[in-house]
Amino acid sequence: MRRKTLTQYLIEQQREFGNIPAELRLLIEIVSRACKTIGYNVSKGALGGVLGSAGSENVQGEIQKKLDVISNEILLEANEWGGHLAAMASEEMEQVHHIPNRYPKGEYLLLFDPLDGSSNIDVNVSIGTIFSVLRCPDGVCEATEQDFLQPGTRQVAAGYAVYGPQTVLVLSTGHGVHCFTLDREMGSWVLTQENMRIPEDTKEFAINASNSRHWYPPVKRYVDELLLGAEGPRGKDFNMRWIASMVADVHRILTRGGIFMYPADARDPSKPGKLRLMYEANPMSFLVEQAGGAATNGAQRMLEVQPTSLHERVAVFLGSKNEVERVTGYHRQD
Ligand code: AHM
Ligand code: MG
């Protein structure tokens, strides 16, 4: 059987269904090519001298790894010249990145976490890239942070790449979620799973339990009930997985279901959770909803949260619908 490549898939969508404008197709092709380059660098590891710290801090005050910096550069360079973007924003840059004047500008805004799961880089555990695409508001010549602050419902595309045992690209343009596997010999992304679906029920959950003493009561209640298993109110045993790379945890959930949680906790009430709304929570929530799952911040649908700043953090509950609704419901009762 001859499988479809990403290029064929995109052209088909554009031609037959009119789903993907040409400029968006170019954008996705360029991002996917950049992910290929990042994946190549990741796979070199110590041989490519890419492991370890870059000796700098990002806007979040986190020490940047060399691969954080390299991946950010790869995405910036790949996307500057195509004429498809109005501006970019990244976890690794405090300010909006403008398209240099020597290049034409386009109608889209691209946000990314260039290398997600940084703590796993040096230990050879799956890591990835997350991206989100918005339309630049009409009439804007020089996009500012304000232009990016659109709720997740406005995303026109979102996706991630996982650099793991296989390199995969998972993508949605609002018409289902599709998975492409990198054929390393051919250098092409090949469609390997169409219309990924998340089952509504699950027996698997993902949370960093080392923070449990800081959790607020709704999360504590929910996890305690899962841990009681068949003897508790849920009447069934649950299994736990935590990879500490959101891309890998979400990929598992898109593949076989589950719930992923990174809640806000009592450590620092000014920090609502760890993950960032605009380039982690929103693109992942878009994919999860497109696959039939649910995503909230504990209080409301994630995609309806109105962002107030580029790097704001948010509590995240996403995955199998019935579990996300249950834990969100516990927050409402609190
Ligand atoms: P990063 O973007 O700096 O890598 O941080 C985000 C990552 C997520 O991929 C993952 O779910 C989480 O941080 C793990 O956090 P922790 O180390 O607290 O378990
Ligand atoms: Mg991240």
Backbone angles phi, psi at 253, to 5 degrees: -65, -40
Cβ–ligand 1 distance for 204 under 6 Å, the answer no
CATH for 6-193? 3.30.540.10
> Which two structure tokens, joined as six digits, stand for 40?
């190549």
Nearest C-alpha neighbor of 286 from the set 147, 131, 62, 68: 131
Specify the pLDDT at position 329. 98
Binding site annotation covers 292?
Answer: no
Sequence-ordered alpha helix ranges (H) in 114-179 = 145-148
Specify the pLDDT at position 139. 87
Instruction: Tell me the CA–centroid distance for residue 243 and ligand 1, in Å.
Output: 9
| Whole-prediction pTM | 0.96
* CA-nearest residue, atom 17 of ligand 1: 244
Rounded Cα–Cα distance for residues 41 and 21 (Å):
31
Q: Which fold has domain 204-333?
A: D-Maltodextrin-Binding Protein; domain 2 (3.40.190)
Cβ–ligand 1 distance for 245 under 6 Å, the answer yes
Cβ–ligand 1 distance for 285 under 6 Å, the answer no
- Domain positions in the chain are 6-193, 204-333
Specify the pLDDT at position 86. 96
* CA-nearest residue, atom 4 of ligand 1: 117
* CA-nearest residue, atom 16 of ligand 1: 244
Specify the pLDDT at position 311. 96
The ranges of the chain with pLDDT < 70 are none
Cβ 31 vs Cβ 80: under 8 Å: no
- If you ran DSSP here, which 8-state letter would residue 120 be given? G
Binding site annotation covers 113?
Answer: yes
- Which atom of ligand 1 is found nearest the CA of 118? 4
Specify the pLDDT at position 87. 97
Burial class (CB in 10 A: 0-12, 13-18, 19+), 133: buried
C-beta neighbour count of 153 within 10 angstroms? 14
Cβ–ligand 1 distance for 117 under 6 Å, the answer yes
Cβ-based neighbours of 216, under 8 Å, separated by 6 or more: 263, 264, 265, 266, 334
Burial class (CB in 10 A: 0-12, 13-18, 19+), 294: buried
Cβ–ligand 1 distance for 118 under 6 Å, the answer yes
Binding site annotation covers 280?
Answer: yes
